[in-house]
Amino acid sequence: MDILIPLLIAALAGSVLFWLRARSLQRERQSLQQQLEEQRSATKRIRQQLLEQQSRLQLADQRLLDARDQLAEAGKLASLGQMTAGIAHEIKNPINFVNNFAESSVDITDELSDVLRKYESKPMEFSQHVTPLIEELIINARKIAEHGRRVDRIVQSMLLHSHNRPSEPEPTAVNDFVDQYVTLAFHGMRAQVQDFTVMLEKHYDDQAGVVDLVPQDMARVMLNLLNNAFQSVNDMRLKRRDAGYEPIVRIQTKRKGEQLEISVEDNGGGIDEDLREKIFEPFFTTKQAGVGTGLGLSLSHDIVVDEHAGELRCESVEGGGVRFIVLLPVRQRRVDRSGHNEQGSIMDFG
Mean pLDDT calculated for residue range 198-224 = 90
- Partners of 311 in beta bridges: 327
Q: Confidence class of residue 295 from pLDDT cuts 50, 70 and 90?
A: low
Identify the band that residue 178 occupies on the pLDDT scale cut at 50, 70 and 90: very high
Is residue 203 over pLDDT 60? yes
Q: Within 10 Å of residue 270's Cβ, how many Cβ atoms?
A: 20
pLDDT tier for residue 69 given thresholds of 50, 70 and 90:
low
Least confident piece of the model among 86-90, 94-98, 186-190, 334-338: 334-338
The pLDDT of residue 109 is: 81
Higher-confidence residue of 3 and 185: namely: 185
Mean pLDDT of 313-319: 84
**pLDDT value at residue 266:** 92
Mean pLDDT over residues 121-146, rounded? 75
Nearest CA among 218, 309, 211, 301 for reference residue 260: 211
Whether the predicted pLDDT of 341 surpasses 90: no
Q: What is the mean pLDDT of residues 59-65?
A: 79
Lowest mean pLDDT among 26-30, 77-81, 207-211: 77-81
Threshold 0.75, pTM exceeds: no
Select the more confidently predicted residue: 264 or 94. 264
Whole-number pLDDT of residue 123: 65
When mean pLDDT is compared over 14-18, 42-46, 165-169, the highest value belongs to: 42-46
Contact indicator for 126, 112 with CB cutoff of 8 Å? no
Q: Determine the length of the chain.
A: 350
**Bridging pattern class, strands 248-256 and 199-204:** parallel
Band (pLDDT 50/70/90 cuts) for residue 2 is: low
Is pLDDT at 284 greater than 90 in this prediction?
A: no
For residue 258, pLDDT beyond 50: yes
Q: What residues have CB less than 8 Å from 118, skipping those under 6 apart?
A: 129
Residue 104's pLDDT band, with cuts at 50, 70 and 90, is: confident
CA–CA separation, 342 vs 339, rounded Å? 9
Does residue 241 sit in helix, strand or coil?
coil
Return the pLDDT at 89. Answer: 60
Tell me how far apart the alpha carbons of residues 295 and 280 are, in angstroms, rounded to a whole number.
8
Q: How confident is the model at residue 15 (pLDDT cuts 50, 70, 90)?
A: confident
d(CA 266, CA 35): 69
* Phi and psi torsions of 251, nearest 5°: -120, 130
Report the chain's C-alpha Rg in angstroms.
38
Instruction: Select the highest-mean-pLDDT range: 154-163, 257-266, 298-307.
Output: 257-266
Of 334, 323, 35, which is closest to residue 166 (Cα–Cα)?
A: 334
Least trusted range by pLDDT, from 68-77, 94-103, 271-280: 68-77
Q: Considering only the top CATH level, what class is 170-343?
A: alpha beta
Is the pLDDT at 348 greater than 70, yes or no?
A: no
CB burial of 115-132 (b: ≥16 within 10 Å; e: otherwise) equals beeebeeeeeeeeebbee
At residue 215, does pLDDT exceed 90?
A: no
Mean pLDDT of 146-161: 67
DSSP 3-state of 128: helix
Convert 140-177 to b/e letters by CB count within 10 Å (16 or more is b). Answer: beebbeebeebbeebeebbebbeeeeeeebebbebbeb
Give the per-residue pLDDT at 349.
Answer: 27
Q: Does the pLDDT at position 304 exceed 80? A: yes
